[in-house]
Amino acid sequence: MEKVMQQKTSRIVYLDVLKGVSMLLVIYCHGVLLPYHSVVGNLMMTLAWGAVPCFVMASGAVLHQSRHFTWQKHGKRLGSMYMTLVCWRLLYLVVYRIAGKITGISLWTCIKYLFFLQDYEGVDTGLMWYMIAYLGLMIVYPITYFLFTGGTLGRQITFFIMILSGLTGILFPSVNWLVGQIIHGRELPLQAWNSILTFGNNNNLLFYFLLGAFLLEYQQGVDRKECGRIYRWRLPLSGICLVIGLMGLMFIKYRETGLLIWGDTYLSFGYVRLSTALIAIGLYGVCESLFSDRENLASKIIGEYIGQNTLGIYYLHYILLAVFSWTTCFSWLQFHYFIGMNLIKTFAVAFVCYVVVGLVSRVPLIRKMAS
């Protein structure tokens, strides 16, 4: 069934659903309208930490399954990604300037902001860290692709790189935190190992990028063999993994802030936590279990409408929420919202972004900004 469905759509449905769910979680955690004392809100905000790793896993899965690689195509992809990033940064700058949030800006400062990706005070481009990091992943992608598709030895080397990336980007920081909790004020000097084993500034994202490739390969291999006792238990195991990760990350926030409620407080360094990895793996497994062998209304709405348009929605939702936060309506909502308000905001913003992205994708000169 899955093979038939993939032939019809030329896409892997559950990966689109995974990206769609992740996109909704990203919107949920920006422009937050949650009651201060909400425990459920804190749970959802904790779950949202798994969104970016899931994005990376889905991308790694698809890219490493590609049957053809050409340097010309890859070069065009890199150039397109970079120029798309520049164009969105320009749009952010223009919007903030029109809104009067910034005054004059020199030509050299503008060049540094646009082309050298330097932050400019007054323009909130915080979410673009991911696109910059993803651009870095795409630069090393040819190496991992040729290794991954290069037979047994290449797979072993790729797996070795993934493990080292997971050690330096996730496990070492998590062990450091745990040791600090057990022995107050003490940490293991694992940063020195990071300088030896490093694969860049975003080792944790490289881990997820390669993990996605191996998870999809395993899933397809099990389908071909029609066996795998553990694979048949993938949904409950994924659910357990997700719950353990959520509880672990909420415990970390409680230890650091004393809060089990939302409390208008974000967890620090969420992407380097082992619990976040468990959340991401759990989300991946749940989506794969529920949507790999059938297509329904949920997969169509979340996967096709949102999951296949994540790039444009990712860039657009943040600036829309910024503009909304400058309105009187937002100021009023900050004092009159309820637990469901943030959920309403999430779906409303996702719908508006989907419509705008659909319109933009029809305009030849700017369609790359949306896809």
Q: Say which residues have a Cβ less than 8 Å from residue 371's Cβ, sequence separation at least 6.
A: 309, 311, 312, 361
Q: What is the C-alpha separation between 236 and 95, in angstroms, rounded?
A: 46
Which uninterrupted H or E stretch holds 115? helix 107-115
Q: What is the pLDDT of residues 302-316, one digit of tens each?
A: 999 999 999 999 999
Q: Per residue in 19-44, pLDDT tens?
A: 999 999 999 999 999 999 999 999 99
DSSP per residue, 215-272: HHHHHHHHHHHT--HHHHTHHHHHHHHHHHHHHHHHHHHHHHHS-SS-TT-PPTTGGG
The radius of gyration computed from the CA coordinates of the chain, to the nearest angstrom, equals 21
Residue-number span of the structural domain to which 195 is assigned = 2-369
What is the rounded distance in angstroms from the CA atom of residue 57 to the CA atom of residue 207?
9
Q: Which tokens go with 104?
A: 């004059």
Tell me how many domains the chain contains. 1
Task: Map tokens 């692709």 to a residue.
Answer: 145
Convert the pLDDT of each residue in 140-195 to its tens digit.
999 999 999 999 999 999 999 999 999 989 998 899 889 888 887 677 777 667 67
Residue 6 has pLDDT above 60, yes or no: no
- Helix 71-98 to helix 310-325 angle (10° resolution) is 10
Mean pLDDT for the stretch of residues 218-244: 78
Contacts of 28 (CB under 8 A, 6+ apart): 44, 45, 48, 342, 343, 346
Question: Count of CB atoms within 10 A of residue 278's CB?
Answer: 21
Instruction: Give the predicted TM-score (pTM) of the model.
Output: 0.92
Name which of 83-92, 110-119, 198-207 the model is least confident about: 198-207
The answer, yes or no, to whether residue 210 has pLDDT greater than 70, is yes
Residue 201 has a pLDDT of: 72
Q: What angle do CA 195, 201, 203 make, to 5 degrees?
A: 85
Residue 134, class by beta-carbon neighbours within 10 Å (0-12 exposed, 13-18 middle, 19+ buried)? buried
